[in-house]
Structures are given as structure tokens and as C-alpha cells.
Amino acid sequence: MSSRLHGKNVLITGASSGIGEACARHFAQAGSNLLLAARRKDRLENLKQDLLKKHPHIQISTFELDVRVRDKVRATASTFGDVDVLVNNAGLVIGLEKLEDISEDAMDTMIDTNVKGLVHVTQAVLPGMRARNKGHIINIGSVAGQQSYGNGSIYCASKAAVASITKALLFETMDTDIRISEINPGMVETEFSVVRFKGDHGKADAVYQGIEPLTGHDIAEMVVFVAGRPAHVNVAEMLVFPTHQA
């Protein structure tokens, strides 16, 4: 927990489950106000009610938002007010298959969400940060952006793109006090993982190979840590693995 985050306005995309939901819980604990975005508004509303019971003094707004739709992202962002911290977390993987078997639809969905969606939200929020000469953008990448693996070509490429975009943004904001960070998780057990294995827990166990995966909370703790550093400190990149993953 960091008092530096108290009263800050934190926008989290993909806050309806997994890492994003865990981030919402940890920023709420730190006293931040929350702007929670995802497509499943009912999930966000339930999360909001739960958090307000525990943290009645923070402000929470929820937004039904598909990050792939640029105009909707822009229109929604115009209602956000000042965003102090943006956690670009929304992302997915579908159809882990050999390159020659990947459908156009799966490819488009991953690129449109993981890459273009992150850009859409950043484009909508960064000008406000520039105008105030402050803010922090934290992109959730993946170890998959650094280590490609079989049957994961497009997902890995999408996360490699996140790494490239993050580095470019570092240069593009160098003349400002805006911070740009990337947190790259290894295996995290979330809804993502169950979807990844089509709900087949036996298959998931085979892939995990006895490795105890991280939880969303493990990553959220890192996100809050990174956001809570003093203004002159930027954790540009962080790789977070389960202990037995390499």
C-alpha cells in the first residue's frame, strides 16, 4: 500500500476479471479512485459494490467499453476527467494453434484487442496527461512478448508489439514527467488460463507441469508497487515469474 496513490484517479481496462480485477482491489486498498472499464458491465458493477462496502470513501465509476472500438473509446474517455494512472490490462488469447491453422478471426481479435485496443486507450488518455505534465501508463505485456512459443505466434507477436509500443512511448514522453512502465507476467491463473485450455483443467495442469502459477493478486501487488514509486522513479520494465518458471 502506498499513500502516494491515495486520491489518485486510476483507470484500469479489463477490470472485470483476473489481473485487472485484482488491480482494482489493490488500488482501492491504497485509497485510489477507480475508473473501471471492460465489456462485462455487470461484473464491473458487482466489483464496484463489493469495493465500496470495504472502501466507502473512494469514488468508483464503471464503463462498458470494448477497447477495439476507437470512437467509443474516445467518447468514453472524454467523460473520465483527469487520469493519473492508466493500467492497460485488457487482453486475451484465443485459438492457440499452429500458424497455418490460425483463423483470420482469432488473429484479428488478438491484434485488435491486445495491440490496437491498448493504443486506442492510450491515445485517448495521453493528451490529458501531457496537458497536465503528469501521469503514469502501465502496460501489461507478457513474457510471451519476449519468448515466443509454438502455437502462440500471434499472441506472442501481439505482446511483442506491446513491448515495442511501450519503449517507443518512453522516448516520446521523455520531455515530460509522465512515466511509462511495462509489467510482464509469466503464468497467471485467471479466466484467461481456463479459456486458454478451453476449460480443460487436466490440460492446464499438463502445461503448468507442477509449476504453481501466479495469481492476479501477485501481479496487482507489482502494479501498485510500480505506480506508488516517487515521481522521479520509473520502473520501466518488470518481469514476474512463478518461482519455478524460467
Nearer to ligand NDP, 163 or 177 (CB): 163
Shortest CB 147 distance to ligand NDP, Å: 11
Catalytic residue among 8, 48, 116, 155: 155
> Is there a catalytic annotation at residue 159?
yes
Q: Which residues bind ligand NDP (CB under 6 A)?
A: 13-14, 16-20, 38-40, 43, 65-68, 89-92, 113, 117, 140, 142, 185, 187-188, 190-193, 216
Written as one letter, the residue type at 25 is R
Angle, CA 221 vertex, CA 246 and CA 128 arms, to 5°:
110
Nearer to ligand NDP, 32 or 114 (CB): 114
φ/ψ of 179, rounded to 5, equals -105, 145
Written as one letter, the residue type at 150 is G
Sheet holding 136-140, edge to edge: 60-64, 33-38, 9-13, 85-88, 136-140, 179-185, 237-240
Partners of 64 in beta bridges:
38
Nearer to ligand NDP, 131 or 203 (CB): 203
Catalytic residue among 8, 48, 116, 159: 159
Q: Indicate the pairing of strand 60-64 with strand 136-140.
A: unpaired
> Is there a catalytic annotation at residue 149?
no
Residues tagged active-site: 155, 159
